[in-house]
Amino acid sequence: MRLLDGFIPVASPVGSATDVPDLSDDAAAPVKGFASETAVAPGEPIDFHISVAEPKSVTVEIFRVGAYDGERTALLGVSEPVAAVRQPEPVTDPESGLITCPWEASWRLNVPGDWKSGVYLAVLRAEDGANFVPFVVRSLRRRASWLVVVPFACYQAYNMYPFDGERGKNLYYGFEGGGVQSSKLRASSVSFLRPYELTGMPREAERVHDFIMWAERQGYDMEYAVSSDLDAGRVDPLSYKGLIFPGHDEYWSAGMRKSLVKAFDAGVSAVFLQANNAYWHIRYEGSTITCFKSRQDPVKTRRPGQTVMWRDLRLPEQELLGAQYVSVVKDDAPLVAANADHWFWQAAGVGEGEAFPGLVGGEADSVQDKYQKADSTDFTILARSPYTDGAGGDRVQHTTLHRKPSGAWVFDAGTFHWPMALGREGWVDPRIEAATAALLARIAAGDGLASRSARRRAAFAAAVKREAGPAAVSAKAKPVVKRVGRKVKRTLKRSR
């Protein structure tokens, strides 16, 4: 198959609607596709693998997500017509449930060198339908105030392609007879070499786009990356003042966690704008992510071990984030402000006990006493919000902000709906906008950031604690201490 790289850019990108119709069954989709990579740099190629129900011409429209005259996307250009054909059926591994699509590449985009880092949407458009293919353009060579990490690992964990009532699987469910979904039939591995279900827009993407639209309207200095960049160490956290995780970011590998810890040790802050983050331990294996959950994981020797909940590995999420997932939210509930004299709420003029209607929704975090808490010099619960969980029980949601000994700030919104209050029509709340802006401004300005020597001492102490444990003071541990000291010195030498 000849790869066409003809691309016709628009003269001046303006706000444009993507206009992709709903779809209820992937078996009936006139066109589907996926990209060869989740992220690509300017100047690099990215291939699109396209399949159609019957041979036809398809065009590929490329949009960028942002703030464009009231629209969430802008059209950047369109491909030449692509002669698409019906590709082979998806292949399912009987052991793991892994579904892959052995499709040939249909069209190659050579990403223009002047394209901004950001979230992009390819729209595969045929005369009888259309489908999304999301990807990110990253530019990790320049320093910026913020790195936005888009949760493609979580996107794929939820992807049930082909959603046809028979074959689809994700890390939660597979199909029984009659289209019934069963957790017993879930996959233990999922592949990026397949389209996303139905419209092709990942289930969790819209709230990420809510944040992006708001942040780009504010003019923040941001670069973008994806989960696998964090896992592979392609991201240098020391190039940024802070990392922003705008999505529900539930699936984390050891490499992702290591990158975050490196950031914290160097005084780089992190902002988590949803709930239930860093919950499941996963392994990246090429284009595949694996998470056995309650099933027996055959890999037992590779650190940190089994692909189960991080808290079951005695590495609870709240040790990093301040709070952690506690339950689903049955009905949307108000977020109730606490400690309103804190600078976070003062910036928005919020009073003690002031409520934000419907802001607690989807899933919720809280501080859980039975798990190890975050090592901090300053810990504040910013919201205590009663709600009802999925089983009808009474729960309390927490929004938290704490400071690591290195000076890094860590914010955990603790609810799915925070980004919606920033950038979704009908949900925007100026108080949430003001509080979030105050947080980002303080981090970007480095206000109150610990001195380099204090950060070095804090990073050294934290690294020794992680790598050597209580034995760090023994003669046997001296090599560990020396190794950690060299690592911390190299890390801090590169930080700002």
The domain tally of the chain equals 3
pTM of structure: 0.92
Asked whether residue 250 falls in the same domain as residue 104, the answer is no
36, part of any domain: yes
Asked whether residue 462 falls in the same domain as residue 391, the answer is no
185, part of any domain: no
Q: Give CA–CA dist 245/483, Å, rounded.
A: 31
Closest to 148 (Cα-Cα) out of 70, 220, 42, 201? 220
115, part of any domain: yes
CATH at residue 255: 3.40.50.880
481, part of any domain: yes
Q: At what angle do helices 452-468 and 478-494 cross, to 10 degrees?
A: 140
CATH at residue 1: 2.60.40.10
Asked whether residue 217 falls in the same domain as residue 352, the answer is yes
Residues 6 or more apart whose CB falls under 8 angstroms from that of 124 comprise 31, 32, 33, 48, 50, 58, 59, 60, 130, 131, 132, 133, 200
CA distances from 87 to 120, 192, 196 (A): 24, 17, 16
Closest to 420 (Cα-Cα) out of 232, 205, 242, 263? 205
167, part of any domain: no
Cα dihedral across residues 451, 454, 460, 466: positive or negative: negative
Asked whether residue 371 falls in the same domain as residue 456, the answer is no
CA distances from 69 to 15, 18, 73, 215, 433 (A): 6, 14, 9, 14, 19
Q: Which two tokens stand for residue 311?
A: 């808290």
CB count in 10 Å sphere of residue 292: 20
Asked whether residue 206 falls in the same domain as residue 113, the answer is no
Cis amide leading into 304 (omega within 30): yes
Asked whether residue 431 falls in the same domain as residue 291, the answer is yes
Give me the pLDDT at residue 295, please: 87
Q: Give CA–CA dist 138/136, Å, rounded.
A: 6
Asked whether residue 203 falls in the same domain as residue 84, the answer is no
319, part of any domain: yes
Give me the pLDDT at residue 450, please: 53
Closest to 211 (Cα-Cα) out of 226, 222, 196, 200? 222
Classify residue 180 as left (phi > 0), alpha (psi -120 to 50) or beta.
Answer: beta
- Cβ atoms of 332 and 363 within 8 Å: the answer is no
Closest to 211 (Cα-Cα) out of 131, 272, 135, 269? 272
Q: What is the mean pLDDT of each run of 10 residues along the chain (496 residues)?
A: 72 92 94 98 96 96 95 96 96 97 97 95 97 94 90 98 97 93 97 98 97 97 96 92 97 97 96 98 96 88 86 96 98 98 97 98 98 96 98 98 96 98 96 98 78 61 57 35 51 51
- What is the separation, in whole angstroms, between the first and last Cα of the chain? 49
Asked whether residue 335 falls in the same domain as residue 320, the answer is yes
- Cβ atoms of 214 and 222 within 8 Å: the answer is no
135, part of any domain: yes
Q: Give CA–CA dist 487/15, Å, rounded.
A: 47
Residues 6 or more apart whose CB falls under 8 angstroms from that of 295 comprise 188
Give me the pLDDT at residue 105, please: 97
Give me the pLDDT at residue 264, please: 96
**Domain enclosing residue 110, as ranges:** 1-139
Asked whether residue 482 falls in the same domain as residue 426, the answer is no
Q: Which two tokens stand for residue 277?
A: 């983050």
Asked whether residue 316 falls in the same domain as residue 423, the answer is yes
Asked whether residue 301 falls in the same domain as residue 333, the answer is yes
Asked whether residue 119 falls in the same domain as residue 153, the answer is no
Instruction: Decide the pairing of beta strands 144-150 and 222-226.
Output: parallel
